[in-house]
């Protein structure tokens, strides 16, 4: 059941709130406006604290899991919309470990972890990450060529789905290497003072994705109101990637063999040596579940 206005996910879960701006894409951060403005919480910047969310917020996730399991579906959860899951901040260390344990208990939920700090991903993965957990998608934001190196870092990490959020699109990304990337979400900036995106940037990315067999999702063109301009040249591109490996039931930490399934695992599969410790489940390297996502709305490109 969809519970968020973000078109590429079903739910949003914030284990904590607060962040710090790191690049031009953060300039008009809606999360900062919401948390520091509307909610009146001083949780932004390097010297501010971060606030772990309430028990009720965390319990919602377990409820989504129960509901999805009862209906026999998989739903997507964007984590986090009011923070960066891979921010290196002392206030979030315990919450991040707790979140991994929660993710482990929710096989019917695919958690979409989007970060502007991919350089921290390896350090904060669970020890038994292996080739990746079946229900964790890893993504990074690339708003312009200046931060295209984020995709290079993501490419080196194994995951069932790797995605790029090209939002807010601030320039063309002709030189972005899409190798090893499964999914690109295009979004123009929205809100007061939005920086207009050239529709040609979206067309170019759409066409490159088609050529390179990367799934393309057009969220919106730049506009005053979020969600305006959902179509591109009159066509709705709301496509989702087929995860490299999917397993329903109790999620095992790693489920794919390199080269298995329709989507090959191209990462090195090495667990982070200096990862925060979470659980101690053994890596189960056998068996490749069908690379399909029961929740996707269209076939992958
Ligand atoms: S990383 Fe994301 S949440 Fe953090 S300031 Fe930038 S846009 Fe906002």
Whether the CB of 145 sits within 6 Å of ligand 1 = no
CATH number of the domain within which 216 lies:
3.20.20
Whether the CB of 21 sits within 6 Å of ligand 1 = yes
Confidence grade of residue 281 (pLDDT, cut at 50, 70, 90): very low
The pLDDT value recorded for residue 39 is: 96
Q: For residues 131 and 24, what is the distance between their CA atoms, to the nearest angstrom?
A: 32
Q: For residues 167 and 221, what is the distance between their CA atoms, to the nearest angstrom?
A: 10
Counting from 1 in the atom list of ligand 1, the atom nearest the Cα of 117 is 1
The pLDDT value recorded for residue 245 is: 67
Q: What is the pLDDT of residues 76-91, one digit of tens each?
A: 999 999 999 999 999 9
Higher pLDDT, 16 or 4: 16
pLDDT of 4 strictly over 70: yes
pLDDT of 42 strictly over 70: yes
The count of structural domains within the chain is 1
Of the candidates 243, 295, 246, the residue with the CA atom closest to the CA atom of residue 73: 295
Residue 122: count of CB within 10 angstroms of its CB? 18
Q: Give the pLDDT mean for 22-43.
A: 97
- Spacing, Cα 253 to ligand 1 middle (Å): 28
The pLDDT value recorded for residue 227 is: 74
Q: Give the pLDDT mean for 273-283.
A: 33
The pLDDT value recorded for residue 246 is: 54
Whether the CB of 87 sits within 6 Å of ligand 1 = no
pTM summary value? 0.83
Measuring from atom 8 of ligand 1, which residue has the nearest CA?
Answer: 29
Cβ neighbours of residue 183 closer than 8 Å, sequence gap 6 or more: 139, 161, 162, 163, 164, 214, 215, 216, 217, 240, 241
Q: Whole domain around residue 98: which residue ranges?
A: 1-301
Whole-number CA gyration radius for the chain: 18
């Amino acid at each position: 059941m969809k519970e968020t206005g973000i078109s590429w996910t079903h739910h949003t879960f914030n284990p904590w709130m607060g962040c710090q701006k790191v690049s031009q894409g953060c300039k008009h951060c809606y999360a900062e406006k919401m948390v520091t403005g509307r909610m009146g919480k001083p949780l932004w910047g390097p010297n501010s604290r971060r606030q772990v969310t309430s028990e009720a917020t965390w319990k919602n996730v377990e409820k989504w899991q129960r509901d999805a399991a009862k209906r026999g579906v998989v739903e997507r959860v964007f984590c986090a919309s009011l923070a960066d899951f891979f921010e290196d901040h002392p206030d979030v260390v315990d919450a991040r470990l707790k979140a991994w344990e929660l993710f482990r208990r929710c096989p019917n939920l695919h958690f979409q972890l989007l970060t502007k700090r991919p350089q921290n991903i390896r350090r904060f993965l669970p020890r038994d990450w292996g080739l990746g957990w079946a229900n964790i998608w890893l993504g990074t934001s690339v708003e312009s060529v200046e931060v295209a190196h984020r995709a290079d870092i993501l490419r080196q990490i194994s995951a069932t789905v790797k995605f790029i959020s090209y939002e807010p699109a601030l320039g063309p990304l002709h030189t972005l290497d899409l190798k090893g990337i499964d999914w690109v979400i295009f979004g123009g900036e929205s809100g007061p003072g939005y920086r207009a995106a050239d529709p040609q940037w979206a067309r170019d990315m759409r066409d490159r994705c088609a050529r390179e067999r990367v799934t393309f999702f057009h969220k919106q063109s730049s506009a005053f109101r979020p969600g305006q301009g959902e179509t591109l040249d009159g066509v709705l591109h709301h496509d989702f990637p087929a995860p490299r490996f999917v397993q329903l039931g109790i999620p095992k930490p790693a489920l794919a063999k390199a080269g298995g399934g329709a989507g090959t695992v191209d990462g090195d599969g090495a667990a982070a040596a200096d990862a925060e410790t979470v659980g101690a489940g053994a890596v189960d390297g056998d068996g490749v579940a069908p690379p399909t996502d029961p929740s996707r709305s269209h076939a992958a490109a």
